[in-house]
């Protein structure tokens, strides 16, 4: 891989760089790769290494650079430097500018966060324009250490200790991947690489401003930690690797043991209350955080404190209780299940066949009722077919399919003809409050003779319908 004339040290860096790219299967031969170049040491080294590697890897390159509007003339100078560098290396390029301070006010976030969001949106746009699925960025070992330290100060979990990955999805940009082939190289190594290859680069004077969080982490925290351990970068890298391995195990365990317990649909994740209570606390937390991450239309995460609060709340909540949890989502508790869903999602209740509230339809011999998962048929008694629940009734009865009304009562089988209020009967069967007005009922001359609860039809006492009518019909329910 190394070129003739390369020193062993230089050759080792290039060979390791190409190996990293191939190990992560980041792109296919002939694919276009967008390279984010700010003009600083890290991105210039990245572009140089990719340019040297592109023939061996069979890839094309496109340079992209964004001026964030924070450094006035210096920022514009960076753009001109990158454009000149790309032209001299005969590489196509796209440059652009944004006003990050204005965007920060418009979006209600800090300048650093606004610049980051604008940068990734720009890189994703360039990638799509060039027909590329990937963007290479110059993140290195110091960036990784800073990221992990900042995550710790936010109170992160294992995923936060993992830090950045060599290959990941671009933030909030579906279909675009981020490639970080320098993640295991230190800033000092990249500066030495530029020096060895006589590569010019720009120096960003704001990198020394500890008013920025990342700069504070680098200059104030990492430098002090290096007094305790000169190889603190290596120690943090080992921590990230261990966290990544543990996170991978947790992810696999979750997918194998928890996902099969879930009812997942568009806009909703739901799990049985008993199944949720039986999970290890780590899996309970992960379930809520995964559901929040997958369902929220906003780029937000469920905080550690709120996660614990929701677990405690769900165990004490009554059936029908609901609360907003942020991110455009709500948490709902029913008799049997706990769910996280979008605020506009219709209540989902697996296993119940429901009809619109207020339904009141006559049942006749003309045609069966075949809606909402129900099959209700009336036929002459002698033509009744097997394979479904059937009740033989006098033909003179007026049969209707409807939902409950105030004061409704029912005479369940096994109670000797005694009646119960429908409301009490539904409560005893733990039918969620939200769907009681949508439970299908069959009435004969105004008296309830059958109720559909879940997949089962519950019949009333047959003796309640004895008459002297000579003509009979068969009511078939399934």
pLDDT at residue 388, rounded to an integer: 65
pLDDT per position as a tens digit, 295-313: 887 767 788 889 999 999 9
Of 54-58, 63-67, 366-370, 374-378, the poorest mean pLDDT is in 366-370
Strand-strand pairing, 409-410 and 420-421: antiparallel
pLDDT at residue 382, rounded to an integer: 67
Model confidence at 1: pLDDT above 50: no
Q: Give the DSSP per-residue string, 87-152.
A: HHTT--EEEEE--HHHHHHHHTS-HHHHHHHHHHHHHHHHHHHTT-SEEE----HHHHHHHHHHHH
Residues of CATH 3.40.50.620 domain(s) within the chain? 8-243
Neighbours of 81 (CB within 10 A): 19
Model confidence at 105: pLDDT above 70: yes
pLDDT band at 11 (very low <50, low <70, confident <90, very high): low
pLDDT at residue 306, rounded to an integer: 92
Q: Give the DSSP per-residue string, 251-293.
A: HHHIIIIIGGGEEEETTEEEEEHHHHHHS-HHHHHHHHHHHHH
Q: Give the DSSP per-residue string, 336-356.
A: SEEEEEETTPPP--TT-----
φ/ψ of residue 471, rounded to 5: -100, 135
Model confidence at 468: pLDDT above 90: no
Burial code (b: 16+ CB inside 10 Å, e: under 16) for 96-105 equals eebebeebbe
Model confidence at 4: pLDDT above 50: no
pLDDT band at 34 (very low <50, low <70, confident <90, very high): very high
pLDDT at residue 383, rounded to an integer: 63
Q: Which residue has the tokens 């010019």?
A: 200
pLDDT at residue 96, rounded to an integer: 93
Comparison of pLDDT for 335 and 148, the residue scoring more: 148
pLDDT at residue 41, rounded to an integer: 94
Of 20-29, 291-300, 433-442, 460-469, the poorest mean pLDDT is in 460-469
Q: What is the DSSP letter of 333?
A: E
Model confidence at 372: pLDDT above 90: no
Model confidence at 245: pLDDT above 90: yes
Of 35-44, 254-263, 298-307, the poorest mean pLDDT is in 298-307
By three-state DSSP, how is residue 431 classified? coil
The Cα–Cα gap between 472 and 396 comes to 8
**Annotation: CATH topology of 266-342:** 3.30.465
pLDDT per position as a tens digit, 341-360: 886 665 556 667 788 889 99
The Cα–Cα gap between 76 and 70 comes to 10
Model confidence at 87: pLDDT above 90: yes
Model confidence at 136: pLDDT above 50: yes
Model confidence at 150: pLDDT above 80: yes
pLDDT per position as a tens digit, 62-84: 999 999 988 888 889 999 999 99
Nearest to 178 by CA among 119, 246, 240: 119
Q: Name the most confidently modeled range: 3-7, 167-171, 457-461.
A: 167-171
> What CATH class has 8-243?
alpha beta
pLDDT at residue 2, rounded to an integer: 45
Residues β-bridged to residue 268: 265, 341
- Give the dihedral of Cα atoms 368, 369, 373, 375; nearest 10 deg: -40
pLDDT band at 208 (very low <50, low <70, confident <90, very high): confident
The Cα–Cα gap between 279 and 255 comes to 13
pLDDT at residue 253, rounded to an integer: 94
Model confidence at 368: pLDDT above 90: no
Q: Which residue has the tokens 């997949």?
A: 455
Comparison of pLDDT for 154 and 3, the residue scoring more: 154
pLDDT band at 453 (very low <50, low <70, confident <90, very high): confident
**E strand or H helix at 36:** strand 32-36
Query: In the structure encoding, which two tokens stand for residue 119, read together?
Result: 């940068």
Of 14-18, 113-117, 254-258, 461-465, the poorest mean pLDDT is in 461-465
Model confidence at 155: pLDDT above 90: no
Percent over 70 (pLDDT), the chain: 92
Tell me how many degrees the CA angle 282-284-288 measures, rounded to the nearest 5.
115
Residues of CATH 3.30.465 domain(s) within the chain? 266-342
pLDDT band at 412 (very low <50, low <70, confident <90, very high): confident
Computed over every residue of the chain, the mean pLDDT equals 86
pLDDT at residue 8, rounded to an integer: 43
How far separated are the first and last CA of the chain, in Å rounded?
Answer: 70
pLDDT band at 380 (very low <50, low <70, confident <90, very high): confident
pLDDT band at 263 (very low <50, low <70, confident <90, very high): confident
pLDDT at residue 198, rounded to an integer: 95
Model confidence at 205: pLDDT above 90: no
pLDDT band at 363 (very low <50, low <70, confident <90, very high): confident
């Amino acid at each position: 891989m190394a070129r003739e004339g390369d020193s062993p040290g230089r050759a080792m860096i290039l060979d390791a760089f190409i190996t990293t790219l191939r190990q992560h299967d980041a792109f296919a031969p002939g694919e276009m790769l967008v390279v984010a170049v700010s003009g600083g040491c890290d991105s210039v080294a990245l572009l140089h290494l990719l340019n040297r590697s592109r023939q061996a890897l069979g890839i094309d390159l496109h340079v992209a650079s964004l001026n964030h509007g924070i450094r006035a003339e210096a920022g514009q100078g960076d753009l001109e430097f990158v454009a000149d560098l790309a032209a001299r290396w005969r590489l196509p390029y796209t440059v652009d500018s944004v006003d990050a301070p204005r965007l920060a006010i418009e979006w209600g976030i800090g300048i650093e966060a606004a610049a980051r969001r604008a940068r990734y949106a720009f890189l994703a746009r360039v990638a799509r324009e060039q027909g590329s699925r990937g963007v290479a960025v110059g993140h290195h070992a110091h960036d990784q250490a800073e990221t992990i330290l900042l995550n710790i100060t936010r109170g992160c979990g294992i995923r936060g200790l993992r830090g950045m990955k060599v290959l990941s999805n671009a933030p909030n940009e579906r279909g675009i991947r981020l490639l970080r082939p320098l993640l295991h190289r230190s800033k000092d190594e990249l500066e030495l690489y530029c020096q060895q290859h006589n590569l010019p680069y720009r120096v960003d004077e704001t990198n020394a401003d500890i008013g920025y969080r990342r700069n504070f982490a680098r200059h104030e925290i990492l430098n002090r930690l290096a007094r305790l351990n000169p190889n603190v970068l290596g120690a943090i890298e080992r921590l990230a690797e261990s966290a990544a391995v543990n996170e991978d195990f947790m992810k696999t365990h979750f997918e194998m043991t928890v996902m099969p317990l879930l009812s997942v649909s568009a806009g909703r994740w739901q799990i049985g209350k008993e199944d949720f209570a039986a999970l290890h606390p780590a899996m309970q937390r992960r379930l809520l955080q995964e559901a929040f991450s997958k369902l929220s239309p906003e780029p937000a995460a469920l905080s550690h404190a709120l996660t614990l609060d929701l677990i405690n709340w769900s165990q004490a909540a009554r059936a029908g209780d609901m609360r907003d949890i942020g991110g455009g989502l709500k948490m709902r508790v029913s008799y049997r299940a706990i769910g996280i869903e979008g605020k506009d999602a219709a209540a989902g209740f697996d296993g119940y066949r429901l009809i619109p509230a207020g339904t009141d339809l006559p049942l006749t011999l003309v045609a069966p009722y075949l809606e909402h998962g129900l099959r209700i048929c009336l036929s002459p008694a002698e033509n009744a077919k097997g394979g479904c629940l059937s009740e033989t009734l006098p033909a003179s009865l007026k049969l209707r399919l409807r939902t409950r009304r105030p004061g409704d009562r029912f005479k369940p089988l096994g109670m000797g003809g005694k009646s119960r209020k429908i409301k009490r009967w539904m409560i005893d069967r733990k039918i969620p409050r939200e769907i009681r007005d949508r439970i299908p009922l069959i009435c004969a001359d105004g008296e309830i003779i059958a109720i559909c609860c879940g997949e089962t039809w519950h019949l009333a006492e047959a003796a309640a319908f004895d008459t002297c009518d000579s003509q009979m019909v068969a009511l078939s329910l399934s």
